[in-house]
């Protein structure tokens, strides 16, 4: 066994054994000794971290909620009680966020309830359907603005916009093959929340985001969700999802039912679901999905991936 003598390089005085793994002060000459060529002290690290946090904020308005700053980048829309922005968290680990800012006093209670609903649903999801649900980052008062409240949600990567925006992008109506997977994704999300006893309560084109490349749909705006919802209330979700699909299929046209180019089996199913609440209650999300797959197979043949080009 070889012995190693640890001595100060300045005065050759012996150093304690801890000098092998951390900086020490020589008891003889007072020099700060470290085995590495460079060392970062705690104070200098904290100062650098503070500078990084302050320096990452870009031009434009910024807010602080839940002890964290966010730079507002782009307006995503305005509602009756709130304004919605795309934002970026200010800090060393930035990420995109969707922020709802109150424009009316009643928004505070709505934000608190939506945050509570989403947290409960995420707990019930157990990771299985969490990708269909918005993730709450923070909710509460905007610091420095006593009458303004915010709901901060992690912005989902790859989502292009709402189904309402998709309808505006295709005023002549979307390809029926896209309507199939859009409805299936909505039915999957609604089927999950219904199986947990919840209802969404406000399914509409503005409250669903679309992921063009991955063919994904995410329901948002859960402030009207109900726990222990009855079968009729849940059937209302399904009926409204069918009406969303009808709007996308018809575009700006005022055609009754669906257009002629929509396969008859699919057109009949979505039209009936949009009109018959009892039919939706009887079938449920899972039953409608089974009927939808059968109608799509009859109308379009075997499943195939059709890119949604925007």
pLDDT one-digit tens code per residue, 116-164: 999 998 888 776 667 778 999 999 999 987 789 999 999 988 888 899 9
Helical packing angle, 176-195 and 264-275, nearest 10°: 40
Say if CB 150 and CB 213 are below 8 A apart.
no
pLDDT one-digit tens code per residue, 269-298: 999 999 999 999 999 999 999 999 999 999
- Placement of tokens 């730079």 in the chain: 71
pLDDT one-digit tens code per residue, 171-191: 999 999 999 999 999 999 999
Longest dimension (CA), the chain: 95
Three-class SS string for 276-289?
A: CHHHHHHHHHHHHH
Chain centroid, CA 29 distance in Å: 58
Say if CB 23 and CB 32 are below 8 A apart.
yes
pTM: 0.78
Sheet with 96-102, side-by-side order of all strands: 62-65, 68-78, 82-89, 96-102, 149-154, 135-141
User: What's the burial of 199, exposed, middle or buried (CB within 10 Å: 0-12/13-18/19+)?
Assistant: buried
Rounded to whole angstroms, the Cα distance separating 234 from 238 reads: 7
Rounded to whole angstroms, the Cα distance separating 290 from 56 reads: 50
In the chain, the domains with their CATH numbers are 60-154 (3.30.200.20), 161-300 (1.10.510.10)
Rounded to whole angstroms, the Cα distance separating 221 from 238 reads: 16
210: enclosing H helix or E strand: strand 208-211
pLDDT score recorded for residue 208: 93
Residue 34: how many other CB atoms lie within 10 Å:
12
pLDDT score recorded for residue 7: 87
CB within 8 Å of 277: residues ≥ 6 apart: 232, 235, 236, 239
Sheet with 216-219, side-by-side order of all strands: 161-162, 208-211, 216-219
């Amino acid at each position: 066994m070889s012995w190693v003598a640890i001595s100060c390089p300045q005065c050759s005085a012996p150093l304690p054994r801890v000098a092998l793994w951390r900086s020490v002060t020589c008891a003889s000459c007072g020099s700060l000794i470290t085995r590495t060529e460079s060392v970062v002290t705690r104070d200098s690290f904290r100062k650098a971290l503070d500078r990084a946090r302050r320096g990452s904020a870009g031009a434009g308005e910024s807010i602080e909620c839940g002890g964290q700053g966010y730079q507002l980048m782009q307006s995503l829309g305005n509602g009756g009680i709130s304004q919605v922005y795309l934002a970026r968290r200010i800090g060393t680990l930035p990420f995109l966020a969707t922020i709802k800012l109150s424009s009316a006093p009643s928004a505070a209670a709505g934000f608190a309830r939506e945050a509570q609903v989403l947290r409960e649903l995420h707990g019930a999801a157990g990771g299985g359907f969490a990708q269909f649900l918005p993730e709450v980052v923070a909710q509460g008062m905007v610091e420095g603005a006593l009458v303004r409240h915010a709901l901060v949600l992690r912005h989902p990567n790859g989502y292009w916009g709402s189904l309402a925006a998709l309808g505006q992008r295709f005023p002549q109506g979307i390809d029926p093959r896209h309507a199939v997977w859009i409805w299936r994704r909505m039915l999957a999300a609604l089927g999950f929340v219904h199986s947990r006893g919840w209802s969404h309560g406000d399914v509409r084109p503005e409250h669903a985001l679309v992921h063009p490349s991955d063919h994904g749909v995410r329901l948002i705006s859960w402030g009207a969700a109900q726990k222990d919802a009855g079968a009729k209330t849940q059937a209302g979700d399904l009926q409204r999802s069918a009406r969303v699909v009808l709007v996308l299929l018809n575009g700006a046209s005022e055609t009754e039912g669906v257009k002629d180019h929509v396969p008859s089996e699919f057109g009949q199913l979505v039209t009936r679901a949009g009109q018959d609440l009892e039919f939706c209650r009887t079938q449920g999300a899972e039953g409608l999905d089974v009927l939808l797959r059968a109608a799509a197979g009859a109308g379009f043949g075997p499943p195939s991936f059709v890119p949604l080009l925007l």
